[in-house]
Structure 1
Amino acid sequence: MSERPPTQHELLAFYLEAGVDCALAEEPVNRLSETEAEPAPMRATPVRERPAPLPVPRTDVAPAPDVAIESARELAPQAKTLDELRGLLEVFDGCALKMTATRLVFGDGNPQARVMFVGEAPGRDEDLQGIPFIGRSGKLLDLMLASIGLDRTSAYIANVIPWRPPGNREPSPHETQMCLPFIRRQIELVDPDVLVCLGKPSSQAVLELKDGIVKSRGRWFDYNTGTRMIRAMATFHPAYLLRQPIYKRMTWKDLRMIRRALAALPPRESA
């Protein structure tokens, strides 16, 4: 018995999962058609042609990865404030992801928060609005924060990669290394008391952990902000929990550890 053809809804869902989120033409094009376009007719009589324009140097080509990584390491420490860091990212052309993304996704929440959450990279919704963790995964993160008495006014949220990879693919190691100096500087400027890495890529990039997230989660690590050591933890990414809800129980244990750590902090001295 032959399988039934997919419905339009199933096809659209497949395209969305594959990263196809916009149309390039009003009518569909059959790329597998054997019919070839007829060649343009040749001019019967030669006419005087204009001279070919001089080639214009391309400005949308990213530099070599090693050069871009070194440039990021030199630029990021120059930012004295989060606004300056955002400005540096706006003009940084070392990462090719910037050329395919809609906009920069820098950070959200309270820059003076005592806890900071760091994910991997923006998705489609984040790319369209320029805000990290919105859409389905963002709603789940908001629920996770609310379960321990937090929200976006009492936490700060960012990503290792500030531009969406095409089709929501995983960032390459070079792309991660290009962006790592900027997220490290972002953590230094926020200067939280507790740092939470969401997911394996974030924990391996920021905390330099070698194990997977299942082994790494639920433990405290030390993170050096450059001026002091702070407590850091890895837990599951909300997007992963949407696919694997069985791990929500473990995440709840991690969230309670974070709540206890925040509750034990002494009050901050007023400036």
Structure 2
Amino acid sequence: MQQVPNDPRQIEALLDFYTSAGVDCFLGEDAVDWFELTRRQAEQRAQSRPQAPAAGPTHTHASGPGRGSGPNHPMPAAAAPQARVPDAGQTAVLPDAQVIAAARDQAASAASLEDLQACLAAFDGCNLKLTAKKLVFADGNPQARLMFVGEAPGRDEDLHGKPFVGRSGQLLDRMLEAIGLDRSSAYIANVVPWRPPGNRTPTPQETEICKPFIVRQIELVNPDVLVFLGAASAKTLLGVQDGIRKMRGRWMSYPGKGKEIAAIATYHPAYLLRSPLEKRLSWRDFLSIQDKLTGGSATRER
């Protein structure tokens, strides 16, 4: 077993490493079979649920509007309202073409950002929703000319329900401040609005299911400048395959609502926390973003 360091600075660095890696709970020394535990919990819940009344003479002779509302005719279990919060016994959804098509239809039906957020809150096609605590929809000003898109929320974002509120978000705030902006001057979202367990990378299926919602979100915001934080969001929305080192700092075009949106990719703030020497390149990117914003029209047409 690894020996715990005595130096408080080493302990702080170790805890910071675990937090960045997505560890958000303490574990014991003995392994736990979570599959078996989940199965037993599901069985216990099934046994504790009230059984639906068996079909028989008690119900076959009842008729009229009062049926099922009296003491002798309790409401069938299938008609009872179900809890919105998923539990360990809830069946996961198979991420197939039908689920992706349903996501496209629901996203396209949203006429406003409020409608889109409601659609996401009610959407059960992405299994990340089963493990996430909150929906992380967006933050900032939806009327801003500048929009940032990351890949997926982390632990702090999952707890607060807002994107980029942890250490990465604090760095992003400082980077915005360096070019004279703040969150009231930008709109911030992620491709995937639910935190993957342990901060793992979203699977291609999870990203594809969530993609119609971020595409619609960009359409509704209709920014003048779109910034991809990291290569993952740029690859998803632009269809490019270049790595972030080759892609960053290069202006591209994103098809917006009735116009071409100026788009650029830069390093994700989480990467800059691990590689502070790369901040100089991100600084160049943000100066380029500032030039693009100030070189455009002062009044925005929507």
- TM-score, structure 2 as length reference: 0.75
Per-residue Cα deviation, 1:138-171 (whole angstroms, up to 9, x for no partner): 0000011111111011100000110000000000
Q: Which residue of 2 aligns with 1:6?
A: 4
- Is 2:173 the counterpart of 1:170? no
Letter in structure 2 aligned against 1:193? D
Corresponding residue to 1:19 among 14, 19, 22: 22
- Is 2:143 the counterpart of 1:143? no
Q: Which residue of 1 aligns with 2:154?
A: 123
Q: Which residue of 1 aligns with 2:228?
A: 197
Per-residue Cα deviation, 1:175-200 (whole angstroms, up to 9, x for no partner): 11011110010001001000000001
Letter in structure 1 aligned against 2:176? L
Residues 119 and 159 in structure 1, CA contact (< 8 A), matched pair in contact too: yes
Q: Which residue of 2 aligns with 1:251?
A: 282
Q: Which residue of 2 aligns with 1:41?
A: none
Residues 60 and 99 in structure 1, CA contact (< 8 A), matched pair in contact too: no
Q: Which runs of 5+ in 1 are unaligned?
A: 33-51
Letter in structure 2 aligned against 1:77? A
SS at match of 2:139: strand
What are the equivalent positions in structure 2 for 1:48-87 lying under 5 Å apart?
60-87=91-118
SS at match of 1:134: coil
Residues 65 and 94 in structure 1, CA contact (< 8 A), matched pair in contact too: no
Q: Which residue of 2 aligns with 1:43?
A: none
Residues 187 and 225 in structure 1, CA contact (< 8 A), matched pair in contact too: yes
Change (3 A) 1:20 1:53: farther
| Structure 1 CA distance for aligned equivalents of residues 14 and 247 of structure 2 | 37
The two structures, once aligned, show a CA RMSD in angstroms of 2.6
| Structure 2 CA distance for aligned equivalents of residues 270 and 199 of structure 1 | 28
Per-residue Cα deviation, 1:108-155 (whole angstroms, up to 9, x for no partner): 000000000001100000000001001110000001111111101110
- Is 2:139 the counterpart of 1:108? yes
Residues 95 and 209 in structure 2, CA contact (< 8 A), matched pair in contact too: no
How far is 1:66 from its partner?
Answer: 2.1
* More helix, by proportion: 2
How far is 1:268 from its partner?
Answer: 2.0
| Structure 2 CA distance for aligned equivalents of residues 256 and 11 of structure 1 | 34
Per-residue Cα deviation, 1:2-40 (whole angstroms, up to 9, x for no partner): x9723484775565455331358xxx46239xxxxxxxx
Change (3 A) 1:177 1:90: same
Quick one: percent identity of the two aligned structures?
53
How far is 1:208 from its partner?
Answer: 1.6
Change (3 A) 1:142 1:18: closer
| Structure 1 CA distance for aligned equivalents of residues 301 and 105 of structure 2 | 33
Residues 68 and 178 in structure 1, CA contact (< 8 A), matched pair in contact too: yes
| Structure 2 CA distance for aligned equivalents of residues 248 and 99 of structure 1 | 36
Letter in structure 1 aligned against 2:3? P
| Structure 1 CA distance for aligned equivalents of residues 18 and 272 of structure 2 | 22
What are the equivalent positions in structure 2 for 1:222-233 lying under 5 Å apart?
222-233=253-264
Per-residue Cα deviation, 1:207-256 (whole angstroms, up to 9, x for no partner): 22210001001111110024221100000000000001111111111111
Residues 222 and 257 in structure 2, CA contact (< 8 A), matched pair in contact too: no
* Count of residues in correspondence between the two structures: 247
Corresponding residue to 1:220 among 243, 247, 251: 251
Q: Which residue of 2 aligns with 1:180?
A: 211
How far is 1:59 from its partner?
Answer: 5.1
Corresponding residue to 1:96 among 124, 127, 132: 127
How far is 1:257 from its partner?
Answer: 0.6
Change (3 A) 1:11 1:259: closer
Change (3 A) 1:260 1:85: same
Q: Which residue of 2 aligns with 1:261?
A: 292
- TM-score, structure 1 as length reference: 0.83
What are the equivalent positions in structure 2 for 1:23-62 lying under 5 Å apart?
28=28, 30-31=30-31, 60-62=91-93
Q: Which runs of 5+ in 2 are unaligned?
A: 33-49, 53-76, 83-88
SS at match of 1:153: helix
Residues 119 and 199 in structure 1, CA contact (< 8 A), matched pair in contact too: yes
Change (3 A) 1:268 1:60: farther
